[in-house]
Amino acid sequence: MRAGPIISLASIFDVQKQKFRRVLYRGFVSELFVPYMDLTEEWYYRTYFDAGEYGYGSYASSLLPGADCPANAVFMEAYFPDEDGNPQQLPNAFCIFERYAGDIMWRHTETATPVTEVRRDVSLVVRMVSTVGNYDYINDWEFKQSGSIKVTVGLTGVLEVRGSEYTHKDQIHGESYGPILAENTIGSNHDHFLTYHLDLDVDGEQNSFLKSKLETVRVSNSTTSPRKSYWRAVVETQVDFTFVNPNKKTDVGNSVGYRLVPGSVVSPLLSDDDYVQIRGAFTKYNVWVTPYNESEKWAGGVYVDQSRGDDTLAKWSLGDREIVNRDIVLWYTLGIHHVPCQEDFPVMPTLSSGFELRPNNFFERNPVLKAFVSL
């Protein structure tokens, strides 16, 4: 049970075309890399791979109705083998609920002829919590009526702290590897990198990856325009991060696609030649795109912390394989550098990060026009 929740065959019903259209073949957390920055004797080796080393699924927590999920949630149990291979049931491993947070899906007031139209933002959330030791990771996959798939991870639980002789900041002179959070308590600096495996099938299996660069254009001839500059989007073949099906076009000729809207991303700060970073080198870029290969599921390789890093996403990618008009996989890494503060102790308020896969010329026009009026 290395993976947590696995989302398969995510599709959206296109009201205009009256059919389901595929977006994502399969999506899951491939690895979760948590290196601590504390070199003291009992700490230097704490550079965890929470999926490959522990099992993101095995550590699923039973969800508390009404607290972990709202009152309208339905729950699903999960089954997995225990350490002796016997089947185990985990009740309430998943919850699924309609979410209405009070947000607006779209609205407009036409000022001259006062007409206001509003549609409420109601979406479907699939949630699973994995408690790996001290941390609780809240995994949300949210499916919106607009076609967006929003993926969020919330980090909460209990901070991993180190005992210390210090009772006040002023007593610390050397390297403490993190701030003092309470008397005799140091909160060690650390990172969280979550790498998602996202096998996109945007309206079919054959997809391409487009990178748009925005470039400033200087207007040199003042007879052309009183303006001196503007920007335009220049699309490069290969890798804004749009995944298109080059074989399918909208009526006006745009390639059918989905766009990656990243949340907060950070890069690793460990040296490339550090043992743990050799294994965790898949965090070096926030976006990788590879052709689908059945054996390439785990960004950190099959053996993770037991390996020399030869079997990882960073190594597979050196092959420079063809990714145009292929069945491609997007690997997306979100990262957080965590310098603890006193509010993180003794329990941590949820800190969230995520990304969104947003339709980009996938529909002929705004699909939420079809949503029911709220009143």
* Residues 325 to 364 in contact with a copy of itself, rule: CB under 8 A: 337, 339, 341-350, 358-364
Interstrand relation of 190-200 and 208-218 (parallel, antiparallel or unpaired): unpaired
The least distance separating a copy of itself from the CB of residue 63, rounded to whole angstroms, comes to 9
1's CB contacts (< 8 A; 6+ apart) are 55, 56, 57, 58, 60, 80, 81
Residue 136 among the catalytic residues:
no
Task: Classify burial at 314, counting beta carbons within 10 Å of its beta carbon; exposed 0-12, middle 13-18, buried 19 or more.
Answer: buried
Q: Which of 98, 47, 22, 49 is nearest to 304 (CA)?
A: 49
Question: What phi and psi, each to the nearest 5 degrees, are found at residue 134?
Answer: -80, -25
- Contact between 216 and a copy of itself (CB under 8 A)? yes
- Contact between 150 and a copy of itself (CB under 8 A)? no
Q: Which of 50, 136, 140, 201 is catalytic?
A: 50
Residues 266/336, Cβ–Cβ less than 8 Å: yes
**Closer residue to a copy of itself (CB): 262 or 291:** 262
- Contact between 97 and a copy of itself (CB under 8 A)? yes
Residues 217/230, Cβ–Cβ less than 8 Å: yes
Quick one: which segment of 13-21, 202-210, 224-232, 298-306 binds a copy of itself (CB under 8 A)? Answer: 224-232
**Closer residue to a copy of itself (CB): 66 or 87:** 66
- Contact between 119 and a copy of itself (CB under 8 A)? yes
How many Cβ atoms sit within 10 Å of the Cβ of residue 5?
20
* Residues 253 to 292 in contact with a copy of itself, rule: CB under 8 A: 253-254, 259, 262-264, 269-271, 273-277
Residue 140 among the catalytic residues:
no
The least distance separating a copy of itself from the CB of residue 231, rounded to whole angstroms, comes to 4
* Residue that is written with structure tokens 């009070």 in the block: 102
Residues 181/340, Cβ–Cβ less than 8 Å: yes
**Closer residue to a copy of itself (CB): 30 or 268:** 268
- Contact between 55 and a copy of itself (CB under 8 A)? no
- Contact between 136 and a copy of itself (CB under 8 A)? yes
Among 89, 113, 229, 295, binds a copy of itself (CB under 8 A): 229
**328 vs 209, 255, 325, CA distance in Å?**
8, 16, 8
- What secondary structure does DSSP assign to 36-96, as a single string? B---STTTTT-EEEIIIII-TTTTBPPPPBTTTB-TT-EEEEEEEE-TTS-EEEEEEEEEE
- Contact between 375 and a copy of itself (CB under 8 A)? yes
Residues 311/303, Cβ–Cβ less than 8 Å: yes
* Residues 74 to 93 in contact with a copy of itself, rule: CB under 8 A: none
**Closer residue to a copy of itself (CB): 246 or 262:** 262
**Closer residue to a copy of itself (CB): 9 or 219:** 219
The least distance separating a copy of itself from the CB of residue 339, rounded to whole angstroms, comes to 5
- Contact between 218 and a copy of itself (CB under 8 A)? yes
- Contact between 146 and a copy of itself (CB under 8 A)? yes
Q: Which two tokens stand for residue 303?
A: 């053996």
Residues 14 and 21: their CA atoms lie apart, in Å, by 7
Q: Which of 48, 56, 135, 177 is catalytic?
A: 135
Among 225, 293, 302, 357, binds a copy of itself (CB under 8 A): 225
* Residue that is written with structure tokens 């001259």 in the block: 112
* Residues 193 to 212 in contact with a copy of itself, rule: CB under 8 A: 212
Quick one: which segment of 81-89, 150-158, 196-204, 313-321 binds a copy of itself (CB under 8 A)? Answer: 150-158
**Closer residue to a copy of itself (CB): 10 or 126:** 126
- Contact between 133 and a copy of itself (CB under 8 A)? yes
**Closer residue to a copy of itself (CB): 186 or 329:** 186
How many Cβ atoms sit within 10 Å of the Cβ of residue 91?
10
Catalytic residues: 50, 135
